[in-house]
């Protein structure tokens, strides 16, 4: 296995961000910048051309969030919001409509969770800490998700 430099460079320093792929475009959302400041811009890399552009930003800037896609729709959940602590909302991104809030506050903790997809459902997976740790899985099937 060889690692090769693509020549692509991030338009700004960024760590602890969420990312997702829609078509041939990779979206980088949230995270921390060079001075540990929250990054509000959504940087988009078009893999077919190598060009970077900006996309609309979600309602809240998050650190350590997770993203997953169902068809042509991306979902963003978890992480922490600047000054607000645990981010409990679920946001959706559609290229033709931008960002919208699916749920202002999920009825479960999103702390240290991973967002995955299975069929037409979003799975929120986390280990609940404690003397007897428990694996918690919450499933949500968005009404606009493609069926399989």
pLDDT tens, position by position, 127-145: 988 888 899 999 998 875 5
Q: What does pTM read for this prediction?
A: 0.89
For 51-65, the pLDDT digits (tens) are 999 999 999 899 999
Which band of pLDDT confidence, cut at 50, 70 and 90, is reported for residue 16? very high
| Average pLDDT of the chain, as a whole number | 90
CA gap 51, 44 in Å, rounded: 8
Q: Which residues contact 97 (CB under 8 A, 6 or more apart)?
A: none
DSSP 8-class letter at 97? T
How far, in Å, CA of 16 to CA of 104, rounded?
22
């Amino acid at each position: 296995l060889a690692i090769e430099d693509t020549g692509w460079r991030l338009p700004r320093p960024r760590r602890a961000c969420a990312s997702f792929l829609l078509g041939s475009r990779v979206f980088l959302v949230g995270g921390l910048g060079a001075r540990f400041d929250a990054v509000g811009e959504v940087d988009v890399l078009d893999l077919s051309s190598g060009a970077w552009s900006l996309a609309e930003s979600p309602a809240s800037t998050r650190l350590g969030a997770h993203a997953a896609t169902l068809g042509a729709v991306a979902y963003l959940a978890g992480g922490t919001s600047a000054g607000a602590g645990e981010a409990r909302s679920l946001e959706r991104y559609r290229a033709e409509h931008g960002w919208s809030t699916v749920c202002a506050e999920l009825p479960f903790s999103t702390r240290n969770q991973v967002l995955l997809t299975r069929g037409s459902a979003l799975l929120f997976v986390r280990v609940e800490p404690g003397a007897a740790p428990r694996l918690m899985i919450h499933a949500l099937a968005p009404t606009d998700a493609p069926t399989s």
